[in-house]
Amino acid sequence: MKKSTLISTIAFAFVLLLTTNANAQKFAKIDVSPMDAATFKTDKDSPVIAKVIYSRPQLKGRSLEKLAPSGKVWRTGANEATEITFFNDVTFGGKSIKAGTYSLFTIPGDSEWTIILNSDVNTWGAYSYKEANDVARVSGKVSEGSDSVEAFSITFSDGSMHLGWGKTRVAVSIK
């Protein structure tokens, strides 16, 4: 190989390496529905009973009905399907549930929401939801909050899991 060809090849490889390295340092656009997690404990010193991992879509002037239509299965958040892990057997909305990880879907309604635990995990949205894989369906009573919650939120308190978005609040008991 000629010396000039060798130098050209090395220079090309060096430029390619720099270009690839520069692109590797760019960060993707920040997710507009960031992931969050909430844990359920009976008190601050007790072990975790449940942990939910979900993404938080925002209303941004849109109606809740448009984003989570009444009567239709919803992924209960954004992006990947929401997942809930129970670290021990629990009673969820009055039904016995074995320890494990489940996807969490909901069917919004005016006076109550259907909360669904499903055995399919690591799924995107509700696009591949299969009712045949439901482990439990329970009802969560709808109430109205005094303040509007911009970003969909899940929290645990008073022995219940609470969902909140806009002025809509939904609660389901966990024991």
For residue 162, the model assigns a pLDDT of 97
How far apart CA 25 and CA 17 sit, in angstroms, is 13
User: pTM score, two decimals?
Assistant: 0.81
- Domain total in the chain: 1
For residue 11, the model assigns a pLDDT of 55
Q: Is 18 inside any structural domain?
A: no
Q: Is 21 inside any structural domain?
A: no
For residue 154, the model assigns a pLDDT of 97
For residue 7, the model assigns a pLDDT of 63
For residue 30, the model assigns a pLDDT of 74
Which residue range forms the structural domain that includes residue 110?
32-173
Along the chain (175 residues), what's the average pLDDT of each consecutive run of 10 residues? 61 56 64 86 91 94 89 93 96 98 96 96 86 97 93 95 96 96
For residue 130, the model assigns a pLDDT of 93
Q: Is 89 inside any structural domain?
A: yes
Q: Are 120 and 103 in contact (CB under 8 A)?
A: yes
For residue 5, the model assigns a pLDDT of 64
The CA–CA distances, whole Å, from 100 to 15, 78, 91, 94, 97 equal 50, 22, 13, 17, 9
Q: Are 68 and 165 in contact (CB under 8 A)?
A: yes
Q: Is 12 inside any structural domain?
A: no
